[in-house]
Amino acid sequence: MSVPATEQAAPATSDAPLLSLRGIQKSFGAVHVLRGVDLDVRPGQVTALVGDNGAGKSTLIKGIAGIHAFDEGEYTFEGQPVKVSGPKDAADLGIEVVYQDLALCDNLDVVDNMFLGREVGSKFRLDDTAMELRARETLDGLSVRTLKSVRTHVSALSGGQRQTVAIARAVLWNSKVVILDEPTAALGVAQTEQVLLLVRRLADRGLGVVLISHNLNDVFEVADDIAVLYLGQLVAQVRRDEVTRGEVVELITTGKSEKNGGES
Amino acid sequence: MSTSTTPPEEQNTIGSLTSAYLAKIRGGDVGSLPAVLGLVVLVVAFSLLRPDTFTTPLNLAGLIGQSAGVMVLAMGLIFVLLLGEIDLSAGYTGGVAAAMVGVVMSNHGWSWPLSLLVGLLTGAFIGVLIGLAVAKVGIPSFVVTLAAFLGLQGVILKIIGEGGTIGYRNEFVLKLNNGSLPLWAGWALAVIVIVGYGGVSLLTLLSRRKQNLAAQPMLLWAIKTGALAIAVIAFTAFLSQERSPNPTLKSLKGVPNVVVVIAVLVVVLGYLLTRTSWGRHVYAVGGNAEAARRAGINVPWLKVSCFITCSTLAAVAGILIASRDNSVSPATGGQQTLLFAVGAAVIGGTSLFGGKGRITDAVIGGLVIAVINNGMGLLNQPAATVYMVTGAVLLFAAAVDAISRRRAAATGRV
């Protein structure tokens, strides 16, 4: 089964970026990690962020998520310049990150995990029914068919199901941008397909999706846009259908390609 | 199967319920089952061996009084065990709190409510110090509470004076863990427990059904409520018999007062753990502290609050032990009290690895420990044997915990 390349929303929405970075700089002491990164995340599109180890992918998403602020550069969200100086600022804007280790509590069930830290109901009387209904609604909205019961403990779930729960948690709060860090890294073939299908569905719902991946198969299967980081610089952000796999590999490894060599 | 379909109504025969339950156990989720089975085996064994002394209302009432302190201490420990931490000093925290109650109540003549408040605040204060050392300074709880274990022994000696005791004379405080309820009150308590449990679980079941959510089958509800009703009625009836060796001199009958204290604590603490956001965060931190932190939970503060809860309940336990003994001595809350309480929690099904445990574990585990102690005593076994058997039971319970955990991890990834 392959992921249908649905791009029906592309022409109408691709003009105005949801999240836009210009000239981002970030150093850790003497190490200059990000050197003038420009990135656009458009609604309804999957933007793949690729690059070799140490290219600055993690630093970039941590900056977007407010875990450590950028030193310099413009950060605009929905056309407005914003200042994101903590994870809460990013969450308030509607930016959610699904980290590679997922951060789920094995001893709690799916509903409890999805609402962890943001429980519904009064502090002294949780509304478990409302939470369960909303969790199911969200999972149904994403057409998740792999979870038997939302009251299953996470310890009993497979890797793909855990990834599904983590992604569903990220979209539960009407988020606008979801950043996924290597969502398929630890998954088998069938589960990878399920997760990629889910990633596509997020975009089809109008969210801006940033997909970090080392796997070019995944990238070419699901992404609309490919942004390549090379040694702290965004050397290219191109439409998937305008590049070949070989060109992307070349960009990742050398920072330039014959076709896009001039861009930076 | 999808998440949106109507919950299946299939589990409605005894057979399917049994197989579902067996599947759950095979998956490593044993809950309190080993403890309940162990309790039944122990009670049957001792009843056969010592029918005229073990199975008497007098002995049962005594057993409850003896174990009440350990049970309440175990309830407190469950809060820190859920985090994957430990409090070795909880026994002596109870001792210090009981000593403070003795000082203000017996030596300074304060009223009992004020004195008990002093005791609880003493416990809470010790909890704050331990919690800050663990959560803010970052010392392992094992070391912090080992230090407190030694230090608090010194504090008790300082308060009471070497070799001394402080007698409790207040009628109310003494009655806490000595007296019994009037017969009508005992039966009223039984009705409240049965109707309360049955009613609340029925309402939950019906409201979940109305919302089209998976609810436990009606049959299961009936079985659970029925079993509880039988147990509670049998317990109350048994204790409502005359148990005084010399009834003409002084009549002794009715459910012990301390059962009310334990019942209230089970309900209140159980509610805190299962129905409030604080309780949910306790489980979350015990399950994956990093995930909890990223979800915006203030982990250090949550840890401090759990140590405060533990130490405050330890104070309650200390007061109950002192009430039983009619006095406080430097040994109150000492010796094997703490290890029995840790044992009670673990035997009841609380995990030493954190993230798993319920308040009722303390009650079931506490009863197991009390029955072993009591029964072995009646068999005229020397203390040496009692210690060895209790140690073996604790080791067995910890092994069940470790093995069921491994099993859950192995079968979990379906």
User: How do residues B227-271 score in pLDDT, each as one tens digit?
Assistant: 999 999 999 998 888 888 777 777 788 899 999 999 999 999 999
Residue A185's closest CA among A53, A1, A59?
A53
A190-204, A245-259, B124-138, B318-332 — most confident range: B124-138
Residue A104's closest CA among A168, A192, A61, A189?
A168
For A25, the domain range is 16-104+176-254
Judge whether A228 lies within some domain: yes
Judge whether A34 lies within some domain: yes
Count how many domains chain B has.
1
* Domain at A227, CATH number: 3.40.50.300
Q: DSSP 3-state assignment of A15? A: coil
Element counts in chain A: helices (H) and strands (E): 9, 12
Q: Does A104 touch chain B (CB under 8 A)?
A: yes
What is residue B1's predicted lDDT score, i.e. its pLDDT? 38
**At residue B203, does pLDDT exceed 50?**
yes
CB contact under 8 A, B284 and A108: yes
User: How do residues B139-182 score in pLDDT, each as one tens digit?
Assistant: 999 999 999 999 999 999 999 887 788 888 888 888 888 888 89
Q: Does A6 touch chain B (CB under 8 A)?
A: no
Q: What angle do CA B151, B156, B159 make, to 5 degrees?
A: 125
What is the DSSP code string of A174-242? Answer: --SEEEEESTTTT--HHHHHHHHHHHHHHHHTT-EEEEE-S-HHHHHHH-SEEEEEETTEEEEEEEGGG
Mutate to test the interface with B, among A105, A120, A143, A161 (most CBs of B within 10 A): A105
Judge whether B268 lies within some domain: no
- List the structure tokens of A214: 């080392």
Residue B38 DSSP class:
H
Judge whether A109 lies within some domain: no
Mean pLDDT, residues B372-391: 84
User: How do residues B259-314 score in pLDDT, each as one tens digit?
Assistant: 999 999 999 999 999 999 999 999 999 999 988 888 888 999 999 999 999 999 99
Judge whether B74 lies within some domain: yes
Judge whether A171 lies within some domain: no
Enclosing H/E stretch for A73: strand A72-77
Cα separation, B17 vs B407, in Å, equals 22
Judge whether B361 lies within some domain: yes
What percent of chain A has pLDDT above 70? Answer: 92
Give the residue ranges of DSSP H helices in B161-257: 171-176, 183-210, 218-239
- List the structure tokens of A158: 């497979």
* Domain at B322, CATH number: 1.10.3470
**At residue A235, does pLDDT exceed 50?**
yes
- List the structure tokens of A107: 């001893």
**At residue A78, does pLDDT exceed 50?**
yes
**Is the CA virtual torsion A254, A255, A258, A259 positive or negative?**
positive
Count how many domains chain A has.
1
Give the residue ranges of DSSP H helices in A3-109: 10-13, 57-64, 87-93
Q: What is the ipTM of this complex?
A: 0.82
Cα separation, B110 vs B116, in Å, equals 10
| Residues in chain B within 8 Å Cβ distance of A148 | 1, 3
For B345, the domain range is 33-179+298-407
Judge whether A110 lies within some domain: no
Mean pLDDT for chain B? 87
Give the minimum alpha-carbon distance from B214 to chain A in angstroms, rounded to a whole number. 8
**At residue B83, does pLDDT exceed 80?**
yes
User: How do residues A200-211 score in pLDDT, each as one tens digit?
Assistant: 988 988 899 999
Judge whether A142 lies within some domain: no
**pTM (two decimals):** 0.86
Judge whether B5 lies within some domain: no
CB contact under 8 A, A153 and B412: yes
Judge whether B78 lies within some domain: yes
- Chains A, B: CB contacts within 8 A come to 100
Q: Which residues of B touch A (CB under 8 A)?
A: 1-4, 27, 207-208, 211, 213-214, 275-278, 280-281, 283-284, 286-288, 290-292, 294-297, 355-356, 408-409, 411-414
Give the minimum alpha-carbon distance from A87 to chain B in angstroms, rounded to a whole number. 9
**At residue A43, does pLDDT exceed 50?**
yes
What own/partner pairs with CB < 8 Å and gap ≥ 24 does A122-129 have? A123/B276, A123/B277, A123/B278, A124/B275, A124/B276, A125/B275, A125/B276, A126/B275, A126/B276, A126/B277, A126/B280, A129/B207, A129/B208, A129/B211, A129/B213
For residue B91, name the pLDDT band (cuts at 50, 70, 90): very high
B352, B81 Cβ separation under 8 angstroms: yes
What is residue B372's predicted lDDT score, i.e. its pLDDT? 87
CB contact under 8 A, B409 and A126: no
Mean pLDDT, residues B11-36: 74
- List the structure tokens of A204: 């089809």
